[in-house]
A and B are shown apart, each in its own frame.
Chain A
Amino acid sequence: MPLEAYLAVAAVLFVIGLTMVASRRNLVYVLMGLELILNAANLNLVAFNRFHPESHVDGQMTALFVIILAAAEAAIALAIVLNAYSHFETIRPDDIDTMKD
């Protein structure tokens, strides 16, 4: 398969992730969108690693670290969402917006 095919999949995933975050329908969706963005970056890294054999294991290794960091980030983010839910009784980002100029 040409490299572009993998890049196209990654790019579309990235944009889907972005739209999920931008649509702001509810916080769990937003966080899922973030996971998609990280996965898109991972697919890019891994595909490029395959096509740049001189870089040894760099891309694969980075993807590995990104997966670990994604897990840590998801844990913190979900804890914050739960915390916000216990204060606001909602998880629509537009309703959790009390601070204004």
Chain B
Amino acid sequence: MPELTYFEHLSYILPEVAVTLGLCLVLCWEMFSRRQDRTAEARRARGMETGILSLGFLAIAGVLLLIRFSWNPATVFGMVEVDRFGTMFKLFITSAVAVVIGFDLMDRRAQDDGRSETYFLLLTAVLGSYFLVSSYNFLLIYLGLETLGLASYALSGMHKRGRASAEAALKYVVYGALASGIMLFGASLLYGLSGTLQVDEMAGHIVTAVREGRSVQVALPTLLILVGFGFKLSFFPFHWWAPDVYEGVPTPIATFLAVGSKGVALAAFLRVLAMAFAGIMVFDDPSVGILNEPTPFLANLGGTLAIISAATMLVGNLAALRQTNLKRLLAYSSIAHAGYIMMGVAVLKPSGFEAATLYTFIYYFMNLGAFGMVLYFANQTGSEDIGSLKGMGYSHPWAGVATIVFLASLTGLPPTAGFAGKWILMMEAWDGGLGWLALWTGLMSVVSLFFYFRIAKMLFLRQADQEIAVVRTPILSGMLVVLAVFSVVFLYFDPLLDLAKTGINDLFY
């Protein structure tokens, strides 16, 4: 690879620069614009301005990312990998945060104070995610994780009047900091094993250690690092913070935590796993054939991940059955979906990782939609209780039908993208020798039908107790409908699978 000049290096990280500029401007905007005017209208206008400003910078970053997508992979500034896998997930988090900002602007129950700080922190989280998904260096991964984490902790505590928000932020910060501390300790042990913090350089040492029967030296740090990622991805047994936190924080922030933060954590997890263990994974390389002999270490790792996946599905789906708060229900549902995604990871093959990536993208559309649904109906009724949905499907046909689509997709019913994604995951598990896990997923999907159906039943099969005046929120309805269309269309959308394939290819070959 030819030596790049400083400005060429810089050109590779232009999206990061755009986001950084954006967050500086958002922070300054509030300072310079009519700060003394404290009327409600002025404060609302300021919130709107900073929101649109952040959306503008996210759009710039998105365009720059799209342009960069066709560039050849490169390593810039010594430790930032610019490849299609990372760019893919950067687009993912950029668009997710754009939708979250849209939700926040539409949230009628949001307070007008602290809006610009919310957007500033969301942009900081985007910046952290950019580095999280595009590095093999544990220092940068930890830095990205902490940037994302710190912004999320502050975001969850922002709702000043809410006791629930204070409690949620507290639980999140204590266990989040604990998980990242444990992960750092694990990373330090891997550093000791190999003498480098670059996962790609560690790989050789890891393979040697496993081959020479010193598996425990690899297994222990791997377990500790799994704790760190497990917390962010909320899989069993590190899932219990999620329901409390999602319930306590405002809905847009819950959306961010459930979709954005989870997606990028998965990307970093896949990158680390692929790079660290590619040398001992058993899979068909298109040019060479089957690469490696199976090792007990890999079997144990796959088995552990499979058991985690099964337990996560069980815990998520069973607990969701008895929820009455919509956000809490969706929290358990997103835990269960982390379990489905983990099924693809547990196969420990490129094709399994592809299926997991694809499902994450589908998860993005249907979960943004589901949380948007909570926001929409909370705007109408002022409540997030499942009972408040009674008969709302008739007075709000567009949102009602969109909700049915999201629920069908989350359950995995045909003809939705959720079905296609889950089907591919199950096939991968079946081929990878995890047939029991595929069957288990089928069983769990049946269980999940009960609680998703309960929401649908409330919307369309019950009569409203009293008439509630319809509040027109055309933009939010429009967003819901677009997300619903995507949740169906992606069933017939091969490019998405191709995209996942290209991304994963960058990791392995």
Contacts and interface: CB of A to CB of B under 8 A. Distances in A.
A–B contact at 8 Å CB threshold (below): yes
Interface of A: 7, 14, 17, 21, 27, 30-31, 34, 37-38, 40-42, 44-45, 47-48, 51-52, 54-55, 58-59, 61-62, 65-66, 69, 72-73, 76-77, 79-81, 83-84, 86-88, 93, 96-99, 101
Closest A-B pairs by Cβ, 4 of them: A52-B195, A44-B188, A37-B181, A48-B192
B164 A58 contact: no
Interface residues of B, number: 40
Given A55-B191, A99-B168, 12 more contacts: A17-B181, A37-B185, A41-B188, A44-B191, A45-B188, A62-B142, A62-B191, A69-B146, A72-B150, A76-B150, A88-B163, A96-B170
B329 to A, nearest CB: 10
Contacts of A59: 188, 191, 197
Interface of A is mostly: helix
Contacts of A79: 154, 157
Nearest to A91: B170
Contacts of B191: 44-45, 48, 52, 55, 58-59, 62
B196 interface: yes
Residue from B164, B167, B187, B323 having most chain A Cβ neighbours under 10 A: B167
Nearest to B161: A87
Interface stretch (B242-250, B284-292, B380-388, B407-415): B242-250
Contacts of A58: 139, 191, 196-197
B112 to A, nearest CB: 19
A55 B195 contact: yes
Interface of B: 138-139, 142-143, 146, 150, 153-154, 157, 163-164, 166-170, 173-174, 177-178, 181-182, 184-185, 187-189, 191-192, 195-197, 243-244, 247-248, 319, 322-323, 328
B279 to A, nearest CB: 20
Nearest to A34: B177
15 contacts: A17-B181, A37-B184, A38-B181, A40-B185, A52-B192, A55-B197, A59-B197, A73-B177, A80-B157, A80-B173, A83-B157, A83-B166, A87-B163, A99-B244, A99-B247
A38 B184 contact: yes
A41 B185 contact: yes
Contacts, number: 129
A30 to B, nearest CB: 6
A40 B183 CA distance: 12
Nearest to B158: A83
A78 B191 CA distance: 31
Contacts of B163: 87-88, 98
Contacts of B150: 72-73, 76
Nearest to A33: B178
Given A27-B174, A34-B178, A80-B169, A73 B146 contact: yes
B182 A80 contact: no
Nearest to B185: A41
A38, A62, A97 — most chain B CB neighbours (10 Å)? A62
A54 B197 CA distance: 12
B189 A61 contact: no
Contacts of B197: 55, 58-59, 62
A101 B327 CA distance: 12
B192 A99 contact: no
User: Which of A52, A88, A98, A99 has the largest count of B CB atoms less than 10 A from its CB?
Assistant: A99
Nearest to A97: B167
Contacts of A21: 174, 178
A12 B146 CA distance: 24
Given A58-B191, A73-B177, A99-B244, A37 B170 contact: no
A37 B243 CA distance: 26
B385 to A, nearest CB: 14
Contacts of B143: 65, 69
B170 A80 contact: yes
A77 B143 CA distance: 17
Nearest to B174: A30
A81 B139 CA distance: 28
B250 to A, nearest CB: 15
Contact of A37 (B182, B192, B247): B182
Contacts of B170: 27, 80-81, 84, 93, 96
B178 A44 contact: no
A81 to B, nearest CB: 7
A99 B167 contact: yes
A77 B322 contact: no
Nearest to A43: B188
A54 B195 contact: yes
Contacts of B244: 99
Given A48-B192, A69-B146, A41 B181 contact: yes
A85 B322 CA distance: 31
Contacts of B328: 101
A77 B174 contact: yes
Looking at B154, B169, B322, B328, the one whose CB has the most chain A CB atoms below 10 A away is B169
Contacts of A31: 174, 177
